[in-house]
Amino acid sequence: MLAELMRGLVVGLALVLTWLGMGQAAFAQTYQIKMGADNGMLAFQPAQLTIQVGDTVEWLNNKLPPHNVIFSAVPNGDKELAAKLSRQALVYKVGDSFRITFNGDLPTGTYTYYCTPHRGAGMQGKIVVQG
């Protein structure tokens, strides 16, 4: 009797955890950052973004190319990760995009990045990933 009750509890708990996991996936969002603002400024738009673990960021080549995304700082000062996430290649074609999903493999915290050709013009951005 007790064993059956325990088994029922375990199955129930597993179902709830599965449901929670599915819920998280269902609520994961994709955010778009325009490279080159709509108003013609050499900027990422939005320049600052706060997301949750599991969310995806898409950089869209919007205006005034070429652009790229070089991570200058990532959580824990992980230079290897910064290099891995960076998109060195300049994006020339308007409408092209690339994405990064900030899943559980990537640490929470602050990611800062810039665009090489327009760094002097202040084209930089910040993403805060919350757990």
By annotation, the residues acting in catalysis are: 67, 115, 118, 123
Binding range to Cu ion, per CB under 5 A, among 21-29, 60-68, 73-81, 96-104: 60-68
Q: Does 118 bind Cu ion (CB under 5 A)?
A: yes
Single out the residue of 67, 74, 106, 111 in contact with Cu ion (rule: CB under 5 A). Answer: 67
Q: Does 34 bind Cu ion (CB under 5 A)?
A: no
Single out the residue of 82, 123, 127, 129 in contact with Cu ion (rule: CB under 5 A). Answer: 123
DSSP per residue over 29-97, as a string? -EEEEEES-TTS-SSEESSEEEEETT-EEEEEE-SS--EEEEEEE-GGG-HHHHHHH-EEEEE-STT-E
Binding range to Cu ion, per CB under 5 A, among 9-17, 74-82, 90-98, 110-118: 110-118
* Phi and psi angles of residue 83, each rounded to the nearest 5 degrees, phi first: -70, -40
Distances in Å between the Cα of 108 and the Cα atoms of 62, 67, 105, 122 are 28, 25, 9, 25
Q: Does 63 bind Cu ion (CB under 5 A)?
A: no
Q: How far is the CB of 14 from Cu ion (least distance, A)?
A: 48
Q: How far is the CB of 46 from Cu ion (least distance, A)?
A: 15
Q: Are 45 and 34 in contact (CB under 8 A)?
A: yes
Binding range to Cu ion, per CB under 5 A, among 74-82, 93-101, 106-114, 122-130: 122-130
Look up residue 131 and give its DSSP letter.
-
C-alpha–C-alpha distance, residues 72 and 74, integer Å: 7
Give the residues lining the site for Cu ion (CB under 5 A). Answer: 67, 115, 118, 123
